[in-house]
Chains A and B, each alone.
Chain A
Amino acid sequence: MMDAYVRDFARWTPRAPALRLADRRVSYAELDADVERQAAALAAQGLAPGGGAVAVSTDDPYLRQVTELALSRLEIAAALHGAAGVPLQAPSLAGPPSRAPPARLPDPDGLAAVLPGAQGAPVGVTWRRLERMVFTALRTCCAGRQGTWIAADQLPPMAALGLAAAGWSGGAAIAPDFAAGEIRERLETLPPGVIWTTPAGLADLVQALPAGIRVLPEWRVVCCGPGLDPAVARQARLDLTPDIHLLYGPEEAAFTAIGTAADLEGAAGFAGWVPSDTEAMILDARGDAVAPGEAGELRIAGPRVASGYLDDAAASAVRFLGGAFRTGQLASKLPDGRLVLHGAA
């Protein structure tokens, strides 16, 4: 599915950039052709669906992206961000152009990727879950934005996957590996899009903005994870862009709450709205709902929640109860319904 998003834009906007790496720019048509070639090479090595997740090993960031997309073209799950998988040394892209086996429609319940979960054990992302995540990203915190999508920090695994999947799904240029100094320069030159970062990454970025910088208007920031300092948020709104979204969603349940930096006034840490298809329950130690406004442990149910950890029934039994995920986070709700996070329970 990820690779199919790239293929769509190889036809729609073939010369538009799909990837901006520190040392090269790759168009959608070039990326798609390399994915096709690599998928053919992997198929020739005997890789096929059903053999478990595959962990790609290479130092070359472009080769890694191409190989992981090639796995997607073969309907093989990629083990990402250190999640365990069958090790695969990525073949070089030196071979002649060749055609991968014809595409089929992936089984929506088949695995697209395996990520380390927020609570430790590895968690699988099915094609269905990935597609729902992409749609939620495109219609909420990334709505109306194409341009360049920059990863401005080491992102949590689900955010990194969401950046690539939703970015390619939306025809944006993905910039996964710019160094901090480079990003500042690019804010004045690249077509504006979405800067994905963390609270710490945003603090670093804002602190290092040189005097007199002319940040292009229309950049949007998506700050992933709780804990953004309201003072940093304020500085970022002044110096970088007022369009700052906050995103909370553990790997086990992506896109749980979406807020704006302005929401942090009077609600330090994180505050955001829970999409209408998702249920956020705040429970006490006995598992009963707390009184309105009181803090308790956050549980999440909805269409983007995983069904459990992979091959770890014990961990699943602890964390997934009746289809809901126990986040281990202390949270409360404001009178208007916004979710506020208070740290680990």
Chain B
Amino acid sequence: MFDGYVRDYARWTPRAPAVVTPGRIASYGEFDADIDRCGAALAGLGLRRGGGVVSLRVEAPYLAYVALAACARLGIATAPGNDEGADRVLTDREAGPDPRAVRLNREWVQHMFAAEPRPLPRLTLDPAETARVMLSSGTTRKPRRVALSWARLEAGALANLRGWGLGKLGTWFPITSVDSLMGFGQAWVGWGVGAAVGAGVSAEALPGWLELLPEGVACMTPANLRQVLAALPAGFKPQPGWRIVTAGSLLPRPVAEEAALRITPDIRILYGSTEASLLAAGYAADLAVAPGCVGATPAGALVKLVGDDGEPVPEGQAGEVRIATPRMTVGYVDDPDGTAERFEDGWFLTRDVARRLPDGRLVLEGRLDERMILGGQKFMPGVLEEAALACPGVLDAAAFAVPDADGMDRCWLAVAVAQGFDRERLAQHLAGYGGLPPRRFAWVEAVPRNAMGKVERDRLRQAILAIVGGGDGA
């Protein structure tokens, strides 16, 4: 499928760049030939369609993309490097005694790239067959394995292209790597339109590329965007025409504004899940309309907001987001209980809470399991966090509930601040807001977040419990 996009552009624009890495630029013609070389060599190692899911733990950036596309060309389902449930592990590192590991050592790689490329036969793929396994970004428990079929990838490609990729060619940088669905989607849609796709470029290294290359798209988490901003050199002069796309967690408005001032005004926000692909896409400028605004759901999906009783909430009120779409997975791999918990009558239960603006755009308020019930009233942590982040000097904030000695949930706010910050200032700042729950402060070096930038509230809760022991501490 997406290897077919590479093949198309190898014919249409063979000398245009397909892969940009810190070490080299490979054209579509070269990349396509290398995919054929690698496919033949992988087949020689006994990897084949129907032989199980292959986890790609390949460190060399260019080889990682070649192996990913070669597996697709062979009809082999792939998975991220950290997928513990994969049947085989393809790696260019020391593999240890893992019986699943297939080691691509230096000699193998050299020999593979030196071979004469022969076009691999074109496969007729079963659209329902698994193409890719992704790991859902669980914040509190073990990641779940999500199987995505070829048909599901194709349906997702159009939604992604429409949601954030229109009007841009140039170079596309998946800062989160192809191990996340956002990065994977960016790579395959980038090849779909004949753009160059960056590999092995970290958030810290991105500013140099934004000054060097004329235009393109960079996809990252809000936490990555903070890293990019921190890494901007003095006198940073980006080329015009860059687009920044953030996903994975809510983009705080101060971060969006700083990025708009210093990098590009074209900043997009995505709301998606590994299970259901793109749920909404919008513009960072909409954060001024409503913090948490994630935009509109691209055509081809139905989204409903439901209350605790499972019935749609009245217009304008907040409820759990549920989605039905062909872009969705059918369930978790070998996990009927988990599947039954989150999939119901063709709907995926996101466990996210959102409301709708009158024009239909979604405003995300947080996770259902993060909802704090304090003295009988419901509060979403995001509302308090957004207020705290608007206080100058506050770098990051996370609200969470911790039971007190009586077992009643109390609200805590973990705050990371700039040096020399006057702590009284935050209390005064928050006093200016109405409707916020009473809270206690935990002053932290950094708010713990997972790889996608989501706050790890359970870690915070455990840390507080360890200190105050379920008591009423400071």
Q: Are A and B bound to each other?
A: yes
CB pair A143–B157 under 8 Å, yes or no, is no
CB pair A258–B359 under 8 Å, yes or no, is no
A214 at interface, CB cutoff 8 A: no
Question: A169–B195 Cα gap in the complex (Å)?
Answer: 19
CB pair B8–A140 under 8 Å, yes or no, is yes
- Write the chain A residue with the least CB distance to B194: A143
CB pair B158–A276 under 8 Å, yes or no, is no
A160 at interface, CB cutoff 8 A: no
Question: A140–B360 Cα gap in the complex (Å)?
Answer: 31
Given contacts A11-B295, A139-B161, A276-B122, 14 further A-B contacts (CB under 8 A): A1-B299, A5-B299, A12-B281, A103-B302, A104-B302, A105-B300, A108-B326, A135-B158, A138-B158, A139-B5, A139-B193, A140-B8, A276-B7, A336-B11
Chain A min CB distance to B450 (Å): 29
- Write the chain B residue with the least CB distance to A106: B300
Residues in B whose Cβ lies below 8 Å from that of A146: 166-167
Residues in B whose Cβ lies below 8 Å from that of A319: none
CB pair A4–B299 under 8 Å, yes or no, is yes
Question: A146–B295 Cα gap in the complex (Å)?
Answer: 20
Interface string of A151-170 (1 = CB under 8 A from B): 00000000000000000011
Question: A103–B299 Cα gap in the complex (Å)?
Answer: 11
Interface string of B280-309 (1 = CB under 8 A from A): 011100000000000110111110000000
CB pair B169–A144 under 8 Å, yes or no, is yes
Question: A191–B86 Cα gap in the complex (Å)?
Answer: 49
B interface residues with partner A (beta carbon < 8 Å): 4-5, 7-8, 11-12, 122, 154, 157-158, 161-162, 166-169, 189, 192-195, 281-283, 295-296, 298-302, 324-326, 359-361
Residues in A whose Cβ lies below 8 Å from that of B295: 11-12
Given A135-B157, A144-B168, A276-B8, also A8-B298 (CB < 8 A): yes
Given A134-B158, A144-B167, also A12-B7 (CB < 8 A): no
CB pair A144–B359 under 8 Å, yes or no, is no
Question: A138–B300 Cα gap in the complex (Å)?
Answer: 16
Question: A73–B432 Cα gap in the complex (Å)?
Answer: 46
CB pair A258–B12 under 8 Å, yes or no, is yes
Question: A8–B362 Cα gap in the complex (Å)?
Answer: 12
Residues in B whose Cβ lies below 8 Å from that of A258: 12
Residues in A whose Cβ lies below 8 Å from that of B299: 1, 4-5, 7-8, 169
CB pair B193–A138 under 8 Å, yes or no, is yes
Residues in A whose Cβ lies below 8 Å from that of B169: 143-144
Could you list 19 examples of A-B contacts with CB < 8 Å? A1-B299, A5-B162, A7-B296, A7-B360, A11-B295, A11-B296, A11-B361, A12-B283, A105-B300, A134-B158, A138-B162, A143-B193, A143-B194, A169-B158, A169-B299, A170-B162, A273-B8, A276-B7, A336-B11
- Write the chain B residue with the least CB distance to A258: B12
Contact of A14 (CB < 8 Å), options: B157, B282, B359: B359
CB pair B325–A276 under 8 Å, yes or no, is no
Contact of B325 (CB < 8 Å), options: A11, A105, A275: A105
Given A131-B158, A276-B4, also A1-B296 (CB < 8 A): no
CB pair B167–A337 under 8 Å, yes or no, is no
Residues in B whose Cβ lies below 8 Å from that of A242: none
Residues in A whose Cβ lies below 8 Å from that of B189: 139
Those 6 A-B pairs whose CB atoms lie nearest each other, nearest first: A4-B299, A276-B4, A11-B296, A144-B169, A143-B193, A146-B167
Number of interface residues, chain A, beta carbon within 8 A: 35
Residues in A whose Cβ lies below 8 Å from that of B300: 1, 4, 105, 131
Question: A134–B157 Cα gap in the complex (Å)?
Answer: 12
CB pair A275–B360 under 8 Å, yes or no, is no
Residues in A whose Cβ lies below 8 Å from that of B296: 7-8, 11-12
- Write the chain B residue with the least CB distance to A7: B299
Given A138-B193, A143-B169, also A10-B5 (CB < 8 A): no
A145 at interface, CB cutoff 8 A: yes
Given A131-B158, A131-B300, A139-B161, also A276-B166 (CB < 8 A): no
Contact of B12 (CB < 8 Å), options: A7, A138, A170, A273: A273
Residues in A whose Cβ lies below 8 Å from that of B154: 135
Question: A143–B157 Cα gap in the complex (Å)?
Answer: 14
Residues in B whose Cβ lies below 8 Å from that of A104: 302
A225 at interface, CB cutoff 8 A: no
- Write the chain A residue with the least CB distance to B282: A12
Contact of B167 (CB < 8 Å), options: A10, A135, A145, A273: A145
A116 at interface, CB cutoff 8 A: no
Residues in A whose Cβ lies below 8 Å from that of B194: 139, 143
Most-contacted residue by chain B among A103, A104, A139, A336 (CB, 10 A)? A139
Question: A273–B122 Cα gap in the complex (Å)?
Answer: 16
CB pair B8–A10 under 8 Å, yes or no, is no
Interface string of A94-114 (1 = CB under 8 A from B): 000000000111001000000
Question: A144–B189 Cα gap in the complex (Å)?
Answer: 12
Interface string of A264-285 (1 = CB under 8 A from B): 0000000001011100000000
Chain A min CB distance to B277 (Å): 14
Most-contacted residue by chain A among B154, B158, B301, B360 (CB, 10 A)? B158
Interface string of A236-279 (1 = CB under 8 A from B): 00000000000000000000001010000000000001011100
CB pair A139–B192 under 8 Å, yes or no, is yes
Residues in A whose Cβ lies below 8 Å from that of B162: 5, 8, 138, 169-171
Question: A331–B473 Cα gap in the complex (Å)?
Answer: 83
Residues in B whose Cβ lies below 8 Å from that of A144: 167-169, 193, 195
Chain B min CB distance to A59 (Å): 30
Chain A min CB distance to B285 (Å): 11
Most-contacted residue by chain A among B167, B189, B192 (CB, 10 A)? B167
- Write the chain A residue with the least CB distance to B192: A139
Question: A338–B12 Cα gap in the complex (Å)?
Answer: 10
- Write the chain B residue with the least CB distance to A260: B12
Residues in B whose Cβ lies below 8 Å from that of A260: 12
CB pair B161–A337 under 8 Å, yes or no, is no
Residues in A whose Cβ lies below 8 Å from that of B302: 103-105
